[in-house]
Every structure is written in C-alpha cells, then in structure tokens.
Amino acid sequence: MALRTTLPHLLAYLSLGCTLGAALGCARDPAHLRWEADFYYTEKLYIDGQHQLASARFQVLRAQATDPRDADEAGLAACETLARGEAKTPAAACYDALSLDAADRQVRMRALLHAGELRLYDLGLEPDGLRIFEALVRRAPDTVAGLRAIDHLTLHAKRDPQRREAMVALFLRMERAAPDSDLADNLLLRAALLLEEDTQSAGWAQAVTLLERYEARHPEDTSYVDAMMAKARLQRKLGRFHDEARGLERVILTYESSYVFASYALDAHKQATERLIELYRSGPLRNLERAEAHARHLPQMLRKPLKILAYLVTIAEIQEERGNLRGAVTTYRDLLATWQRRHADMRENDERICGEEPAATRKTCLAQLDRHPPIETREIAHARAAIARLEARLAGAPGRGGPP
C-alpha cells in the first residue's frame, strides 16, 4: 500500500526509495511520485474542511491511479470526505458505487457498511440501512464489515425493544443457514444477549440454551468468557444460584491460562470473583469458608491492585464473621503495613524528584513534602478501630485466646 503520512515522513520515504533504487538498479516511477504528492495535498484540503473540492480531487486521483490499491484508497477517501461534510446523500451514493466496483473485496464490503450507516444514522432511512446490514452478514461473514454489521443490528434491537424478537429470529435464521461461517458464533452470542434484555423467564431460558451451544463449540477456548458471564447473569435472573456459581468459578479458572501467557486478569475475572464473594458471604449460598477463599484469591489475581486496602478489609471482615478474630487482626495489621509501604515508596519517589531540583530550590521542595503528610483513607481508620475492638474481645475471652 502506498504511504499515507505527513509531509516530512513522505519526503523521507521518497528519499529512501531513491537511495534504495540507486543501490538496487531500480527507480520509482515519477508519475507515481506525483500521484503521491497530489494525494497528500488533497488530504490537506480535506483537513481544512474543503470537502467538495477534496472529494472531487480524490475521484480524479482514483481514475489516475495505476495501482488498484491506490485507486481503492482514493475512492474511500472521496466518499469519506463527502460524509464528513453536509453532503450525506451524495456520500451514500458514492459508497454505493464503490461497493460495486472497488478492486478489493474487503473495500467493497467496507463501503457497503458505510452506506448502511449513513442511511440508518444520518438520512433517517432505517429500513434501507437495516437491509444493507443484513445483506452484509449474509454476503461477507468472513469480513470485519460483517461483524460490524451485527453490532449495528444488535444496537438497533436494544434501542427498540419492539424489534428485539424479530432481530433474535433473524440472527438465529442466519446462523442456521450457515452454521460454519465465521460469524455463526457471533450470531448465537448476540441473539442470547438480546434475549437477556427480555423481561420474561422464557427468554432467559432460551438464552441459556443458546449460550450452552456456543460454549460447546469452544470447550477449551477462553474467548467464550463473555458468553459464560452472560449465562451466569441469566442463571441469577432465573434463581439458579448453584448453576450461577459453577459458571462463575469456571470463568475464574480461565485466569490461569491467561496468566501464563499474558500475566493479567480480565475484567470478567474480577467481576466473577466479586459476585462469588457476595453469593457465599451474604447471598443464598452462604459459605464463609468459600467466601474467604475467593476474597483472598482476588487481590492475588489482580496483582497489586489499587483497591488492595478495600480487598483486605473484606478478608478481615469475613474472618471475623467466621470467628477467626486473631486472623482478622493479622489481616488488618497487614492492611496498615501495606498502606505504610505504599506511602514510603511514594515518599522515596518524591524525594528523588526533589533531588533533581537545583540546589537553590531543593530544600524548599523537601520542606513542602514535610508539610503534606500521607492522607489516611477510610480503610485506615476502619482498620485501627477494628484492631482495638478485636483485641479487646480477645483480651476478655476465656483463656485470652477466644476462637482460633
């Protein structure tokens, strides 16, 4: 693909091309170099807001291009320039034409997508836009444009509940028509997510069935985490709390594989763990031992999370609920030590910054640090009060020990 960048980069690229051409016994076509320069100049017109003029010039550049890829890029630029201006109807017609005669299939499908977007969101031609998106899903299930079309159809159905049932039926018909297509899984998932928006339990149960089909296709693929989270939410709505918990624990198990390869936790891992703590601590599956295990795993999984103090409070509170007063005191003391270490690190960094100041202002910088002691968060006050209360209970307990 020909280079599209700023003028300094373009000149450097052209210079490099000439240098390599001399070394390799080849030279770039002067006509193509002029085409590149004209394209850059026309981009400037587009940036300056001269949309009609820029679009006309891009169309000329498309006709003059000797490389089909350059022609397609100029064609897209011509349509986009019109769309950014006030000429929405001509822009839609421009995309229509490009969707028929662009050299590259991906570009044709991309043009068709933009044609549908303009009709749906800018021109108020809702039926036409939706028909284009449906056609895209059928014609181009292996393209990014096809996936974007599903996004638009899903968003439209979410905004208009009266169309939700019809859109679910459409997705399922398209999935049945091509169950092995690249978009079949997405059609199943989006249908289930739309059914999740339903207010009736029958829709939720159908969504669970669809998600189970989705998962069965990917038994060892962590990409279905979103589907498992959706199914857990549906199980909760249906009152199937044991099924919800089993699903959430499967989500957490996928952390182990993501950790090995990328050393990070997904938002879904955090959300699943927090919900399990709720289920086992105060919810219908009350089991404080399991609640504490998940509460301990959460900060370990997130690796030095910003909310570590709040997570430690949760662990300590569950320990106290279990009757493990000494363990709760230890956790609260760990919380205070964690806070102190965090602020010691911040102080060290601030002092390093002050050390880089000129000698005349260095002392003033350090004095300002002394005037701003660490701010104690609410967890600190809570921990100190809890330690005093628990130690008093331990001191008054038989044998000065109380529960282990």
Residue 11 CA: distances (Å) to CA of 7, 14, 139, 351: 6, 5, 41, 46
From first to last of the 404 residues of the chain, give the pLDDT tens digit.
Answer: 343 444 444 444 444 444 444 444 445 678 788 888 888 888 888 888 888 898 998 989 899 888 899 999 999 999 999 998 888 999 999 999 999 999 999 999 999 999 999 999 999 999 999 999 999 988 888 888 998 999 999 998 988 888 888 899 999 998 998 888 888 888 888 999 999 988 889 999 999 999 988 888 765 555 578 889 999 999 999 999 999 999 999 898 887 654 444 456 788 999 999 999 999 999 999 999 999 999 999 998 887 788 899 999 999 999 999 999 999 999 999 999 999 888 888 888 888 888 888 888 888 888 888 877 777 889 999 999 999 999 999 998 665 444 44
> What tokens appear for 269 in the block?
């891992």
Which fold is adopted by the domain 219-305? 1.25.40
Residue 391's contacts (CB-CB under 8 Å, 6 or more residues apart) are 329
Residue 4 Rama label (left phi>0; alpha psi -120 to 50; beta): beta
Residue 100 identity (one-letter amino acid):
L
Q: How many residues in total does the chain contain?
A: 404
pTM greater than 0.85: no
Write 175-184 long-range contacts (CB < 8 A, 24+): 177/138, 178/138, 178/141, 181/141, 181/142, 182/141, 182/142, 182/146, 183/137, 183/141, 183/142, 183/146, 183/147, 183/150, 184/141
> What tokens appear for 286 in the block?
């009350």
Q: Where are the alpha helices (DSSP H) in 223-324?
A: 225-237, 241-262, 267-281, 288-302, 308-321
Task: Tell me the HSE value of 81 on the side-chain side, using a 13 A CA sphere.
Answer: 24
CB 59 within 8 A of CB 51: no
CB 129 within 8 A of CB 165: no
- CA Rg, the chain, in Å? 31
